[in-house]
Amino acid sequence: MTTPQPHHLHPWVVERRERVTFGLLAFAYRSDPAPTASVLAAGQLADRLGLDAFYLGDHPARTTDPWAMLSALAVTTERVRLGTVVSCVLHRSPVLLARLASDLDHLSAGRLVLGLGSCWDAEELAALGLPMPPLADRQAMLAETVAILAGVWGGAPFDFSGQHYQLRQAAIAPPVQRPRPPLLIAGAGPRVTLRQVAALADACNVGPGVGSVAVNTPTDARRAFDVLRRHCRDVGRPYDAILRTHYTPWLILAPTEREAEAKLRRYYPMGLNPEQRRSRISGTPEQVAAYYQALADAGVQHFVVPRGDPAHSGYDTRGHVDREHRGREALVLMTIASGRA
């Protein structure tokens, strides 16, 4: 069951409601001989180039740990927001997550964006020696985690007795951002996940995939946001209190179409499967800007743009996304570290 949190309008949301912003997400391949150095370099580049945020996924069985990397970046960057897209609630206990998040928010002087998800990767959970509960249980664990975060950051010893977690007299020093860092929940499930966003979070995060939860097109985005709007109305939350974010599985940029196609072949020598054809974005800066413009017109306010293989960086581009329906043009920095073929 989703218990609505006390409603507040997070300053992080207010600052981004009238402009389109971009964050870079990076991960290091297993073949990278210096994965930690590559991820740190990507985060520092995002800071220097003026991107709004730098994100890491949560796949510790496969690549660098996000909380270790983001902590290092917290003390080697100055202004870029640092976040998880997204941290799997099964990987750590809620109290440990509260500790890691609060510590990172202090290290970064209040720059954490806390992204949470109910987990999807059964193979990784098996590699970590963790069970993969049914989806309904994982969604309930996410809701209980949010409640526990609020409780242990509340300034007094906190007891909790839920279906999945029980704790006594837990208290964690609160983060810099109060009442909490901005909370993002990933997924576009129309019945449960988007209702959890409306009741519990400061941002949604939707993106390409398969089935009813996929947001592959601007039409899909409008449909998902309409569902979110209805859930906000049902829980008594202003729709504009939720920042609408979008995740691109992988962006491949090059100065020309021919170079973009060559780069795509390098990363996918056997070609793309149907899911990859829907979700991999490849092209020139002008072509890619058109893709993001269409999604911005559909209501997306913040883009999470992953860049795999941060060891191969070097190409950057600036694109314009304008918001005519807001009555003005917004210049959007879209600088993506991308490898040359």
Cβ-based neighbours of 106, under 8 Å, separated by 6 or more: 173, 175, 176
**Is 49:316 a contact under the CB 8 Å cutoff?**
yes
Q: Which residue has the higher pLDDT, 132 or 31?
A: 132
Confidence at residue 1, expressed as pLDDT on a 0 to 100 scale: 53
Rounded to two decimals, what is the model's pTM? 0.89
β-pairing verdict for 331-332 and 319-320:
antiparallel
**Cα(32)–Cα(53) distance, integer angstroms:** 23
Neighbours of 125 (CB within 10 A): 18
What torsion, rounded to 10 degrees, do the Cα atoms 146, 304, 127, 312 define? Answer: -150
Confidence category of residue 292, pLDDT binned at 50, 70, 90 = very high
What is the average pLDDT across 231-236?
Answer: 98
Confidence category of residue 157, pLDDT binned at 50, 70, 90 = very high
> Per mean pLDDT, which range of 23-32, 218-227, 290-299 is the poorest?
23-32
**Cα(139)–Cα(130) distance, integer angstroms:** 16
Confidence at residue 278, expressed as pLDDT on a 0 to 100 scale: 83
Confidence at residue 164, expressed as pLDDT on a 0 to 100 scale: 98
pLDDT digits (tens, 9 = 90+) for 94-133: 999 999 999 999 999 999 999 999 999 999 999 999 999 9
Give yes or no for residue 221 having a pLDDT over 50: yes
pLDDT digits (tens, 9 = 90+) for 160-208: 999 999 999 999 999 999 999 999 999 999 999 999 999 999 999 999 8
Confidence at residue 27, expressed as pLDDT on a 0 to 100 scale: 87
**Is 119:125 a contact under the CB 8 Å cutoff?**
yes
